[in-house]
Homo-oligomer: A and B are copies of this chain.
Amino acid sequence: MFQVEVSPNGDIVTLGNGDRRARFHAMWLRDNAWDSETRAPGNGQRLIALRDIDAGLHVIGAQVAGGQLHLTFAPGECSIAYDPEWLMVNSYDRGHDRAPGWLAGGAEAWGAGLMANIPTGDFATVQRDQDARAAWLVQIVRHGFAKLENGPVEDGALFKVVDLFGYVRETNYGRKFEVRTEVNPTNLAYTGLGLQAHTDNPYRDPVPTVQVLYCLESTAEGGENMVVDGFAAARRLRDENANWFDVLSQHCARFEYTGDHGVRLTSRRPMIELDPDGALRAVRFNNRSAAAITDVPFDVMPTYYAAYRRLGEIIDDPAMEVSFRLKPGESFLVDNTRVLHARKGYSGVGTRWFQGCYADMDGVRSTLAAMQTRRPEAAQ
């Protein structure tokens, strides 16, 4: 049973139930009401703006009845009912200090140990079965990558992977691109060279937040794929030397790519990007498209380069790496804001043909959240 208490001037409401206790401000409560005059019943969109709420708003009445919290606000004498459980779930009356580099949104850092348990789904099952799809999407949210096996071996099959959660992000590389050896490559990816682990397109802003790579042919020697958790690498750097973590997160790097057909992409973004509260937001790491770093003060540059070098060493450490070899009909996708991918070099004997495309992580999270939501919460 919830108890409620209002501060003498009516600006703070305290809600408690046994050990749980949380304070809320009258303004926050009014702004976050779920009644049908505040939120559109159909889609949950807020019908009012802050300008519609009196700046001197306060609570003049509060009681718990019928499992709901009933508040009366003045001026206006408006009464609104709240779900106390919703309020407790959305409590902000808690500690907020965390060390920079914490993981938000269900991410879990990993290293080579994940080799024993590579996140994998079966193509047809994930397509057909909602629970299997949810389980596969959870892996992507948690680990930032997942494989998909036993898919069709056909041109464009990778679009069926994207259909599982979202939409293709078309770029100057097209809706999809062919990853195989070309005679005059516009990108080193289209050669047989090995590629250091990297995130794709850091010169794009916003970067594509998902990359899908789909194997259609693979008879050449080599060409294994590797993935590295950029969040784990950044956290290891932090634990080794907090100053190095800070220098890479507090200054912007620059990236660029000059292609054919009027393409000259540039960006100015940090290699380790943090939310304002220190949560890891993104990692950008790509030697091929790193441009001259010019946003680091002269006196800081040696430290910056030492940190950049060490981050690369960590990324290259086999202890961080999960590797696998894809067969035709197999694919993997990465959260390109987090997980770096690499390719070992391969020979010109035999063929290696992958198709790649981009998409976005918000679709992964949205599809998963919709599947996990049993009731339409936003329409409460």
Q: Which residues in A have some Cβ–Cβ distance to B below 8 Å?
A: 11, 23, 25, 27-28, 31-32, 40, 42-51, 55, 90-94, 96, 104-105, 167-172, 184-188, 196, 204-207, 209, 249-252, 256-259, 262-270, 274-277, 287-290, 292-298, 301-302, 305, 308-309, 312-313, 316, 360-363, 365-367, 369-371, 373, 376-379
Contacts and interface: CB of A to CB of B under 8 A. Distances in A.
A140 B169 CA distance: 22
A297 B97 CA distance: 9
Contacts of A204: 360, 362
Nearest to A175: B167
19 contacts: A31-B305, A32-B292, A43-B186, A45-B187, A45-B257, A45-B288, A49-B196, A51-B312, A92-B293, A93-B298, A167-B169, A250-B277, A252-B276, A262-B366, A263-B366, A265-B365, A265-B369, A266-B369, A270-B275
A104 B267 CA distance: 11
A309 B50 CA distance: 6
Given A105-B268, A259-B43, A264-B370, A298 B92 contact: yes
Q: Which of A259, A267, A270, A294 has the most CB of B within 10 A?
A: A294
B264 A277 contact: no
Contacts of A370: 258, 262-264
A49 B287 contact: yes
Given A42-B184, A206-B209, A265-B365, 20 more contacts: A25-B302, A27-B305, A28-B293, A43-B187, A43-B257, A43-B259, A46-B289, A50-B287, A50-B305, A50-B312, A51-B309, A92-B297, A167-B172, A204-B362, A257-B378, A258-B377, A258-B379, A264-B369, A266-B369, A270-B275
B262 A270 contact: no
A297 B98 CA distance: 12
B268 A275 contact: yes
A362 B206 contact: yes
Given A92-B298, A266-B365, A312-B51, A42 B206 contact: no
Q: Which of A23, A171, A379 has the most CB of B within 10 A?
A: A171
A161 to B, nearest CB: 15
Contacts of A302: 11, 25, 27
Contacts of A23: 298
Contacts of A252: 275-277
B92 A296 contact: yes
B28 A305 contact: yes
A250 B262 contact: no
Given A50-B287, A105-B268, A167 B170 contact: yes
A366 to B, nearest CB: 5
A192 B258 CA distance: 45
B45 A262 contact: no
Nearest to A265: B366
A316 to B, nearest CB: 6
A127 B252 CA distance: 35
Contacts of A367: 262
A75 B268 CA distance: 32
Given A206-B362, A366-B264, A40 B308 contact: no
